[in-house]
Amino acid sequence: MRERFAIRNLGQWVAQKREELVQYLQIKGLLPAPTEDMTYLEGAMQKTLPRVRPPLSFRQSLRENLALAARRQVSGLVVEYPQPFRGGVLLGVSVGVFALLFTIMLLLLRARWAEAER
């Protein structure tokens, strides 16, 4: 009984993944898309969604930002944001060095105390 249920679930999973793959290949243009569905969808989208017209100030600021980015790229300046794991690595190394120094200090104090007791 369990095996049949597992096989049925596996079959559904395979069918779902196949459908997702077909849709992905259609989006990428590697498989032809069904034309009737697409024309219907295009018409519905044009009726439902109005055209977007960005404000003039947005277009001007975008133009300035793109010009600035192009100048930076040509000049060779590169802004590199730190990777998220760098902070963790630095924190881990710092904790390790602190633990090492603390251990060395304890060993030196212990040796002194042992020497003083003699």
Residue 98: pLDDT over 90: yes
Reported as a single tens digit per residue, the pLDDT across 2-46 is: 666 677 778 888 888 888 888 888 888 888 877 777 778 888 888
What CA–CA distance (Å, rounded) separates 83 from 81? 6
SS3 of residue 52 by DSSP: coil
Give a yes or no: residue 106 inside a domain. yes
Give a yes or no: residue 111 inside a domain. yes
Reported as a single tens digit per residue, the pLDDT across 58-88 is: 999 999 999 988 888 787 766 677 677 777 8
Domain residues for 118? 83-118
For residue 26, count other CB atoms closer than 10 A to its CB.
Answer: 14
Can you give the pTM of this predicted structure?
A: 0.31
Give a yes or no: residue 118 inside a domain. yes
Q: Are 25 and 31 a contacting pair, CB within 8 Å?
A: yes
Give a yes or no: residue 113 inside a domain. yes
Q: Are 66 and 72 a contacting pair, CB within 8 Å?
A: no
